[in-house]
Structure 1
Amino acid sequence: MAKQGYHHGNLRQALVESTLALIEEKGPTGFTLSEAARGAGVTPAAVYRHFEGRDDLIAEAARQGYEIFADLMDEAYAKGQPSALASFQATGRAYLAFARRFPGHYVAMFESGISIQRTPDLNRAAQRGLGVLERAAADLSQRIPAARRPPAQMFAAHIWAMSHGVVELFARGSPGTRAPFPPEDLLETAVGIYLRGLGLLPADE
């Protein structure tokens, strides 16, 4: 991997960027702190000026990822307004788009084993991002009679699970998992089946 180096004293961010590149290349557990330091053009000892260790570095990469994720989800939700259905569908597409555009961040957030409770800032960023999907689910579920309406958190969790599954199996080019359909189509049809089951879409949509 080419040495990235850092400028203007921004060693902290250079280390995060080095970590993201290593996550993309080797996964969240496949690199050492020394490799992250080398990618930023510094010695391992220099890392400890800003981070306690590798997990701390990954947690910061995840925090930054959640901030980007939240912004993209917010933008998608707003573009779909005033239609609750359009906003809901847009957030699903934004999830896939984020996974494609920011694979290092995505892995740090969802596949590294780092708890979102690790730091208050990480938890705050995560709740903001995932909260957009929950808000979109809550808006859409208002069409369901109260007696049959699932909790918004459950509704959002189902869609999150479908989105994550499509990303893991088909959207990031995992070997041996090529699908004959675009990931966006897979997610849209799966969500459509789910919404029809809740009575939120007519049978022929």
Structure 2
Amino acid sequence: MSKRGYHHGNLRAALIEATLDLIAEAGPQGFTLAHAAKRAGVSPAAPYRHFAGREDLLAAVALEGFALFADLLEHAWDDGRPTPLRGLEAVGRAYLAFARRHAGHYMAMFEAGVPPGATPELAAEAERARAVLLRAAEALSARLPPGRRPPPSMFAAHIWALSHGVVELFARGRPGARTPFDPEALLESGVGIYLRGLGLIGPED
């Protein structure tokens, strides 16, 4: 993006876009704020009009990513329709789709070392994404007696960990992605095994 974008008041957006490109090329630790400024077509000092430093810029990219991510998961969950199990399956597919389509955002969110609570806005969007999995956990656990229900936060954390593991190993074109299994099938079968272990679904599910 050229300096003209900056003169029209788009510097912040230009720097975020440049950072996404740089993350895709070199990873979240492979560039400096000066690199982002050069890619955006502005002077090395210009980013400081909007960001205190490189970590602040990465936090802004992560914030944008979590907002997109939460929107996508909420849409996929759709209040657990037609059933909580189908809703959770849709959330899993949405998780993998986001990681593929928004790889730069995903790396800024989970691999750049940005704390989820770096800013109040980032904390709120990260919590909005986590809340989708919490709602799914609560809905799926409802068929069990209260004393046998797993803690929703633990349940949600396990599903998130399974999803993230499939992304890291099999869904982003890294060396570990060479697998005879489809990532969506891997995630669905893994979640199914987990849910059956908890007694939340039967063989017919």
SS class of match (2:45): helix
Residues 80/139 of structure 1: CA separation in 2 closer, same or farther (3 Å cut): closer
SS class of match (1:44): coil
Please name the residue that 2:142 is paired with: 142
Q: Deviations over 1:9-68 (max 9, x none)?
A: 200010011011111111111101111001100011001000011110000000000000
Q: Does 1:45 align with 2:50?
A: no
Percentage of matched positions with identical amino acids:
60
Residues 152/79 of structure 1: CA separation in 2 closer, same or farther (3 Å cut): closer
> CA RMSD for the aligned pairs?
1.3
Residues 81/204 of structure 1: CA separation in 2 closer, same or farther (3 Å cut): closer
User: Which one-letter code corresponds to 2:38 in the other structure?
Assistant: R
8 Å contact kept, 1:144–1:198: no
Q: How does 1:187-202 map to 2 (within 5 A)?
A: 187-202=187-202
Please name the residue that 1:157 is paired with: 157
Q: Does 1:168 align with 2:168?
A: yes
8 Å contact kept, 2:12–2:50: yes
Please name the residue that 2:95 is paired with: 95
Structure 1 residue 108, shift from structure 2 partner:
0.5
Q: Given the two structures, how large is their TM-score scaled by the length of structure 2?
A: 0.95
Structure 1 residue 178, shift from structure 2 partner:
0.9
8 Å contact kept, 1:22–1:31: yes
Please name the residue that 2:130 is paired with: 130
Q: Deviations over 1:86-142 (max 9, x none)?
A: 111111111111101100000000111110111101111111111111111111111
Distance in 1 (alpha carbons) for counterparts of 2:129 and 2:176: 31
Q: How does 1:48-63 map to 2 (within 5 A)?
A: 48-63=48-63
Which deviates further from its counterpart, 185-194 or 127-136?
Answer: 127-136
Structure 1 residue 80, shift from structure 2 partner:
4.6
SS class of match (1:114): coil
Aligned length: 202
Residues 79/101 of structure 1: CA separation in 2 closer, same or farther (3 Å cut): farther
Unaligned runs of 5+ in 2: none
SS class of match (2:177): coil
Q: Given the two structures, how large is their TM-score scaled by the length of structure 1?
A: 0.95
User: Which one-letter code corresponds to 2:114 in the other structure?
Assistant: I
